[in-house]
Amino acid sequence: MVDALFERLGGAQPVADEAAFDVFSALTGTLTTHYSYLATLTSWAARRRPRDPEGEQRTHPHHMVRPGQLRSPRPGPR
């Protein structure tokens, strides 16, 4: 009955025992932190994209971060 419920929700990965569950739980538990980290990096990078004279954001190979320019992202809007 439980497997049928999870199949309707997209599926599940059954595990052999509680020790295997602990391993899967630890591994999948890191995904939320990883996605949050990626979202922070993306937001930080988007705020620093150069703008052309008309105010449009653009990307260009010469607008890469150079050594010595790396700084930690600042919290909150700029």
Assess whether pLDDT exceeds 80 at residue 25: yes
Q: What's the average model confidence in pLDDT over 37-66?
A: 70
Residue 5 amino acid letter:
L
**How far apart, in Å, do the first and last CA atoms of the chain sit?**
51
- CA 45: distance to chain centroid? 13
4: confidence class by pLDDT, cuts 50, 70, 90: confident
Q: CB-based contacts of 33: which residues, under 8 Å, 6+ apart?
A: none
